[in-house]
Every structure is written in C-alpha cells, then in structure tokens.
Structure 1
C-alpha cells in the first residue's frame, strides 16, 4: 500500500491546548500518529513508536530546526547543544556530563539539594496553611536555588533566576510570536550575558564543580558556553519546579496511592516516574526532516517541521496498554519519553530525580503529613509545549 499523506487537523486550537491539551492529543492520536496542524505550522507526532523513532535517528530527524521551530535559538540568541546533532552536539554535551552523572549528583549535589529543601520548607511553613501556594512558596524558589548552585552563579537571587528561566522558556515556546514574550526573553538574555562576561573568565582561572565551570574548562568558545548556560537556565528550572507541584497534585487526587507511598518510602521513585509520564512537564520539542521519509505510514517531505509531542506519546495505548490516561504508581515499570531519549536524553534527569523525587517531595510530606490541595482557592494550569501548575494553593493541619 502506498504511503499516506498526513491528514490535516484544522480543528486544533492552541489556546485550548494551553488550558488542557490531553483531549486534543487523544483525538490526534486516534486520527493519525502524524498529523499536519496548520495552527502551529507543524506535523504533530503524537504516537509513542513514532516519537521514539524520531529521537533515535538524528540523521533523518535533525535537531537543527528552522522557521517557527527555531524559537529556542531566537530566545537564547545562539544555537545551544539541544539544537545540534552529533558530532557537534556530542562535544558540548560531553563537557557537562561528568558533573551531572549519578556519582556527582550523590556526592556533590544531593547535600546541597537537601540543604535547599530545608530552607524553603521553613519558608513554606512561614507562609502558613491559610495562604501557602506550593509553586510560589516552595517549588519555584527551590528549583531556582538548586539551579543557581549547580550553574555556579554567585549573587543571583531566586526571584531573578525564576524570571530569567520563565522568560527564556516562554520564548522557546513562543510559537504564536507574541511580542511581549520576546521582550521579556530579550531582557533576560541581555542580563545573563552581562553576568557571564565576567563569570566565564573567572571560571577559567578558578574552576569548581559547577556546570558553568565545566563548560569553560572544556575549551568551548565563550558564545557556545554562554548559550548552554542559558539553555540550562531555560530548561533546568521548569521541569523540576513543575514536578514538585505535579507530584503533589497527583497524589492529592489519588489518596489511596498517597497513603501507600507515605507508608512505603521506597515508592517515591515510582511516584516520580509515573508523574513524569502522566503529566510530562516538557510536552513537545521540534525536529526537522533532512530528506523525504516515512513515519508511522505517513509520507513526509524534506524540511518538514515536526513537533515531537512526548506528552501525548506517554499516554499512547499502544505503549501503555492499561488505561494510560490514569495515574497509577503500581503499573509495571515502562520507559517513557518525559526526559527524551537517545543522544538528546536530558542531561539533568539524574539531578531532577534526586532533587525532587528523592529529596524535596518526600521531605515535604514528612514535614507536613496532612498537606493537601486547598480547593477553596483557585488552581491554575498553563501550557502545552511546557506544561505545569502555575498556582497550587495548599493547606495542612497545624
């Protein structure tokens, strides 16, 4: 049978997806795992086998994207490793790998993560059970401070880091070309570049365990090192921040599973992995075909702009056979794509598992055993390219 032309989904509304994308993902998957979506000017790939195939073949599916897919390059002002293929990507990735491997995470970073968690648990307690917001008072500042420490950015406070990260991540996801988003991203980029103009020469003379120091020590050009610091600022806060709130929200809505994990702390790993699968903080990233190809039975031209929708793939019933739309920490362990795969597997995934899955959220429930979502106040979700809770009011019994 001849390869099929991708169906066109004129009905997809990005504004609806910003509020909740999962109904859209289910409809797209049911129609075709590869669909042309005019509203975002991309072929959206929503099937697990198809997304996985893209991740494993950088020869045909390149990270070097153009057109509307180049929003990351526009936001950061330079092409970081995430938008490069091997061997160029490998050179830059190898620079930071040692400081993010499990041994370094355990020996160097875990004690810092633990100290930071204690600091912001105290701040959360000070906010009080009537006014506390988990994102504002704990998840965001904790993710900010962990990122400041890992990057080695002295003098930067958590409010500034949060602003930088949100501005750059919004720019990276600015598919609708919102001028206000570009203005904020430009301001953040300029401020970071001014800091790095002094900091990169400093680390050339005074190396330490930080990611910035590792990039400098590798001998990469100043612009390349700076681009990857900005990449880490953009992506290194968003995912851990949203994993804190997503894990709490998931357990609050599944009290039996919450009771289980609070009596069996060994289950925290399963909570982290299942939350990442079910509520993937990074929902989509771009790729571009280098030649004519076929994916999921759909013919694609050379230069096709692709959106690899890992948040949809992680709920594909062809991969997760038993009710993939449900949160279930007891399901058999399955691989997922929340941290990517192949050569572009998220460099910080071990740090995220340690800082959030093994330290921050378990300590949160130890400190506040009766912690729960405060349904008398409004909870807000936002995003589909990057998705998470922007407001999560919580309360607990004094």
Structure 2
C-alpha cells in the first residue's frame, strides 16, 4: 500500500464537551475539533463529532441517513426510553414529522406574524420605557427574559398563572439532551411540577380561543393532525419557543454591549435589526449542539460510522468555521449571516425562527429609539446548560437619547 493509499485515521479527543469549564467557554474546544479533522471521536462519550461547517450542514440536511427519531440528545431511543414522549417535530422524521410540521408552519406563518407585529412593537416600547427608568440594569432579566415571557405566552394562549414554569422546564429539556450530569441532576427534583403545568396548558380547555394553541387544536378538528398529536405540538412550542429566544436575545444584547460601533450602525439603519439577530445567532449560537443517529453504516470524510452510531454536531463550531466565514469571531452587521446553522438545517430547521426574529426586531427597534449607548456595567455571568449557550446575568449601563 502506498502512502497515498493509506486510509485516513480518525482523530480522537478525550475532552468532555459537557464539562462545566467547556460549557462556560466552548470556543477553545470548538477550534480544536475543527483543526483535528472533519470527524473526531469523542472518547468521553463514545460518539463521533463534527465541527466543520461543511459536514455539520450536510448531516443536518440528510434526515434519511442521520435520523432525529432516535433522539437529538445523547440517549439513543432505539435502546433507551425517553424521559417524556418525544417531540413530534424535533425528535421525529417523515412521515410522522410531516403533518405536525405543516400545521405549525401555517400557524406560525406570515399572516399570523403580521397580526402580531404592531402589538409586539407597542409591548416592546412599553417594556423599554419601564426598564429605562434606571440607567443600569440586568439585561438578561429585564429584557432578554422579560420580553419573550411578556408576548409569546400570550400569543400561544397560555394562562397568566404559572408562567414561571416555562424557563426551568425548557432548561431541563435542553439539559436532558446531554449526559446525565450535575446539570440534569439539578433540575430532576423539580421537573415533574414544571412538566405538569406545561402539559396541562396544552389541552384545548386551558388555551385561549385566539392563540397559536387554539389554531393547532382547530387543525386537529379539520383532521390535519390527530387529537393525540395536538397537545404534543403545543408542547413543542412551549419547549423550544421560549428558552432559545431568551438566549438569542441575550446573545444579541451582549454583542451590542461589547461592539459599540455596531450599535451605532444599527441606530443609523434600524432596518438591520433582523440581520443583527441572525448575526448574533451565528456568533454566539444559543443552540450549541444536537445529536443525530445513523440509519446505516455511513462514511463521512473517510471515517465509517456504524449503523446506530451517535453523531454530535457542533452548530456553534460550524458557525465560526473560518473555512466558511471570513473573520468568524467578529460580530459584524455588514456580513450576510443567513447561511448559519444556528436554527438547524433541512426539514428540522426551527419552525418558529420567524417568531423569534419578530420578537428580536420588536425589542431591538424599541431600544434603538431610546438608547444612544449601551455597555457592560460589570462582569456578565454564564448560565450553564448542556445544549444551550446562555447568559445568567448581564449588568449593563445605558445612555438614553
């Protein structure tokens, strides 16, 4: 065998991507993974990892070979029972995935968002006016958490009482995609109470008649989905529609607090609000990782992953891959970030991403009208999660117009 005939050797690392220090700052590991090769074997969990944009994009786009139905976390649903009924969108593939996806795409479509635009703009201005009574505040609790929890539950049609369950429920759900570590253990004693409230909100009787939830039940009445599927589709909204938006807004606020020139650019051209949101999602990647499971023996860049093998895709690493992006570590509003994989790719791409964009546009526009300068007023603190990159606290100081 000549040297050119030698099969490639799969790189391996013994670093745990779910260790607290890595979750607090995943960028060094992401760079190591990208540099190590197109496929890296993670000894800590016995899975193959992909961190380069080309391969992450390809795997997320190929549901036939890399399935979601066996779980998008470390647990393999072929061998393990999930802790809750799997999501009909995130943890299902065609044909089971098709009807729920089609219904939710219509419910969250352009017509519904046009109806919300004015109300959300007014809600954003009211919140910003309230927050700006002080020139220093925590941008996470006062804005990134407060605005989605102000408008999204109303849009779904949830009861006022009990909405405090939403963030810890979603936090545990995303932690559970990782290994059974201390983060999962921390949420486990409380998840039954959170889940009981969330599941209760998914019933027809508990939902307001004019929200997203009622529209999903109306689709069940038409026969587009079954009555058994309807509450699970509503639950998908409540699982993935709050925490991810909160942390994307946190990423956006951090980006502007640390890049004053980009804030000035936005204020000069408020039409850049949506570009800013997508650039923040690319730059910080609130959803850092998702797993897929192979449906057959498959070769990726010279490495064979056996049927039933778990593959960990590093969305955050792909979104900063210098092979795809110029100056990837910079937050830059002159960039076109539209090809990022922060919302996934293919048929499992986030169905609610346009809702999140409208929330961000509403809040950012209101802030740009009132805030001339925004800067950190203290050291921000990370909130650790096995799947999400999040801020727990972000003290900021503003100068208003």
Q: What TM-score results when the alignment is normalised by the length of structure 1? A: 0.88
Deviation string 1:74-115 (CA, Å, 9 cap, x unpaired) is: 454444321111111011111111121223212x22233223
Aligned to 1:162: 167
Aligned to 2:369: 366
Query: Residue 118 in 1 paired to residue 125 in 2?
Result: yes
Following TM superposition, by how much is the alpha carbon of 1:286 offset from its aligned partner in structure 2, in angstroms? 1.3
Q: 1:215 to 1:288 in 2, by over 3 A?
A: farther
Q: Distance in 1 between matches of 2:81 and 2:363?
A: 32
Moved more, 239-248 or 69-78: 69-78
Q: Which runs of 5+ in 2 are unaligned?
A: none
Superposition pairs of residues 281-292 of structure 1, within 5 angstroms: 281-292=286-297
Query: Residue 230 in 1 paired to residue 239 in 2?
Result: no
**Preserved CA contact (<8 Å) 2:175 2:386:** no
Query: Residue 22 in 1 paired to residue 27 in 2?
Result: yes
Aligned to 1:179: 185
Query: Residue 342 in 1 paired to residue 349 in 2?
Result: no
Deviation string 1:178-230 (CA, Å, 9 cap, x unpaired) is: 3332233332112222333xx32566xx8534145315523444543222322
**Preserved CA contact (<8 Å) 1:61 1:288:** yes
**Length, aligned pairs only:** 388
Q: Distance in 2 between matches of 1:15 and 1:304?
A: 25
Aligned to 2:90: 82
Q: 1:99 to 1:296 in 2, by over 3 A?
A: same
Q: 1:153 to 1:252 in 2, by over 3 A?
A: same
Q: What TM-score results when the alignment is normalised by the length of structure 2? A: 0.88
Following TM superposition, by how much is the alpha carbon of 1:5 offset from its aligned partner in structure 2, in angstroms? 5.1
**Preserved CA contact (<8 Å) 2:165 2:198:** no
Aligned to 2:41: 36
Following TM superposition, by how much is the alpha carbon of 1:380 offset from its aligned partner in structure 2, in angstroms? 3.0
Secondary structure of 1:81's match?
coil
Superposition pairs of residues 270-309 of structure 1, within 5 angstroms: 270-309=275-314
Following TM superposition, by how much is the alpha carbon of 1:7 offset from its aligned partner in structure 2, in angstroms? 2.3
Q: 1:181 to 1:75 in 2, by over 3 A?
A: farther
Secondary structure of 2:391's match?
strand
Aligned to 2:63: 58
Aligned to 2:199: 193
Q: 1:88 to 1:10 in 2, by over 3 A?
A: same
Secondary structure of 1:286's match?
strand
Following TM superposition, by how much is the alpha carbon of 1:57 offset from its aligned partner in structure 2, in angstroms? 1.2
Q: 1:273 to 1:193 in 2, by over 3 A?
A: closer
Query: Residue 382 in 1 paired to residue 384 in 2?
Result: yes
Q: 1:333 to 1:182 in 2, by over 3 A?
A: closer
**Preserved CA contact (<8 Å) 2:319 2:342:** yes
**Preserved CA contact (<8 Å) 2:108 2:212:** no
Q: Distance in 1 between matches of 2:197 and 2:147?
A: 21
Aligned to 1:129: 135
Moved more, 359-368 or 82-91: 359-368
**Preserved CA contact (<8 Å) 1:10 1:37:** yes
Secondary structure of 1:68's match?
coil
Q: Distance in 2 between matches of 1:174 and 1:367?
A: 44
**Preserved CA contact (<8 Å) 1:41 1:68:** no
Report runs of 4+ in structure 1 exceeding 6 Å deviation.
none
Moved more, 132-141 or 158-167: 158-167
Q: Distance in 1 between matches of 2:102 and 2:217?
A: 9
Q: 1:73 to 1:243 in 2, by over 3 A?
A: farther
Following TM superposition, by how much is the alpha carbon of 1:148 offset from its aligned partner in structure 2, in angstroms? 0.6
Moved more, 208-217 or 277-286: 208-217
Deviation string 1:15-38 (CA, Å, 9 cap, x unpaired) is: 222111011000011001221213
**Preserved CA contact (<8 Å) 2:48 2:310:** yes
Q: What is the aligned-residue RMSD (CA, Å)?
A: 2.6
